[in-house]
Chains A and B, each alone.
Chain A
Amino acid sequence: MAQLKYKLLPENSAGGILPLNVAIVDYADIQQCGLTMPQACQIVADNVDGPTAINIMDLTAVTTTSDGIMVPSAIRAMAASDRGKIHPEFGYIPMAEIEHSEALIQKEPHLRQWDINYPGRRLFRGPDVADKPVPVHNVVITGRACNNNSGTEMMHLVTMGEILMPYIGQHVIASGEGKLLTGMSGEHLSVGIGMTTAEKFGRVFSTYRYRAGDTAHGSGAQAKTLKRDIPCIVASKATHAGFVIAALKAGMVPGRDIGCSPVNLAIARAMHLPIDYDNITPRAWLELESVGFSREYLETPVPKLTEAEVLEHADEILPGVDNPQLHTIDELVQTCWAEVKA
């Protein structure tokens, strides 16, 4: 009998910061079992009691982070389950495939990374608006479980606990390559989450909203408090830096092509790569200045670092995550097997 593999971060694990279970299933394993994506989600739901966020990840695809960095994998579908149930209307949604075209890349300049770094891969980010029964967020809900922002922000709707799992950390879990950080999100990550790029069917917004250089939060000095005290599981800073450097080497300019998040700015500054200061909006500057990323700070000369030096000193260069604790994947993630009934 076939067995479906899935990776599980159990509720209350990772030092107690997980308010619900998080399960990650490899799309290739689903195909190997001859299952559809909804069937695979139901099998996971049948095997994990309690509220669970389920993401199906495709390691042959490509996606973008909210601040515009391309990563070689993608969430293909997300679900929320509770005590074996997936709500038939609100519990599951697939992500939309974004077709490659020159017109699209003209509108979304950060996608120039696609042909340079990840040619030929299929692109998925958020769901098609036509698939969304909930007209507000890119969210699925069943019982107590809520999987939001296209699978990167999970909530328990009774205890009201919340966890942020930004995409690159999930890529580490799915690929089995790299290490993970846990901690409180902190002020820099809180500000950075708002520094988006404008995308069709994006992870958070379905339509072209806040371009590179702008902020989706638009809340001045308050932006740093929005996610500051929410626990997170993210990629190690060296792993994160690797993907940002790949984007910068592909010609991406923070504030112009990719988001002006503190992490993108910090790496560009350290490597003496261009930043489009004049394209950053006044309201984005307000938020950046509130965490010390003023134009004056960014333009202050610093020694130029190589790619290897940035990776070696990533923990000092990349801001974000309070009280970070470094983990191997195995310390946080269990590999589980579920029986596939004929």
Chain B
Amino acid sequence: MRLMHTKLPDFIRRIREASVKNTPDMKLEIKGMENVQSAKLQSLRTGRIVNAVEEMAVSEGVDHMEILIRPRMPETMHTVIIKGYDKDGKAKKAIVETVDMLVPTEELDLFDCEEVIDRRPKMTVYSKI
């Protein structure tokens, strides 16, 4: 069944398959999803990413690949749960806090590239509509 949103394991699998579809020896490293246990990802975007991975794999001079998944927003607000367990592993208590995190934008990963093709649609500031 086709879903509007793709399951995380399918997202990873499809990227890996795309990298070796036409280039069986292609080495691929995915960075940035290490702590994501479960997620649904946009299916249309997943298809575009899969196509881009295939395209990159057959690009002239490409020997190996990285997929870097970074927050699009460079400042994000996070919930922090401080959780205590008893000796039997039963959760006793939680304190919930918040923290804002500022991270570099994608330029940091792009400075060393000879060519950058940016296919992202512009973000919409909804208050401007």
Contact = CB atoms under 8 A, between A and B. Distances in A.
Contacts of A130: 125, 127-128
Contacts of B108: 82, 143-144, 158
Interface residues of B, number: 18
A133 B123 contact: yes
Nearest to A83: B111
B108 to A, nearest CB: 5
Given A89-B123, A158-B104, A158-B108, 9 more contacts: A90-B73, A130-B128, A132-B125, A134-B73, A137-B102, A139-B75, A139-B102, A142-B107, A143-B105
Interface in A112-159: 129-134, 136-137, 139, 141-144, 146, 148, 155, 157-158
B125 A143 contact: no
A211 to B, nearest CB: 23
A272 interface: no
B74 interface: yes
Contact of B75 (A129, A137, A143): A137
A144 B104 contact: yes
A83 B104 CA distance: 13
Nearest to B72: A89
Interface in A78-124: 82-83, 85, 87-91
Contacts, number: 60
Nearest to A51: B104
The 4 closest A-B pairs by CB, nearest first: A143-B107, A141-B74, A130-B127, A157-B104
A143 B102 contact: no
A143 B123 contact: no
A133 B105 contact: no
B117 interface: no
Contact of A90 (B74, B100, B111, B122): B74
A51 to B, nearest CB: 9
Interface in B53-89: 73-77
Interface string B98-129: 00101111011001000000000011010110
Contact of B105 (A129, A132, A137, A141): A141
Given A87-B105, A144-B108, A136 B100 contact: yes
Contacts of A90: 73-74, 105
Contacts of B105: 87, 90-91, 141-143
Interface residues of A, number: 26
Contacts of B123: 89, 133
A169 B4 CA distance: 54
Contacts of B102: 137, 139, 141, 146, 148, 155, 157
Nearest to A88: B122
A144 B74 CA distance: 11
A90 B125 CA distance: 11
Given A134-B74, A136-B100, A141-B74, A87 B125 contact: no
Nearest to A90: B74
A133 B73 CA distance: 8
B62 to A, nearest CB: 23
Given A134-B73, A136-B77, A137-B100, A87 B107 contact: yes
B107 A85 contact: yes
Nearest to A129: B127
A7 B77 CA distance: 34
B115 to A, nearest CB: 15
Given A83-B111, A90-B105, A131 B75 contact: no
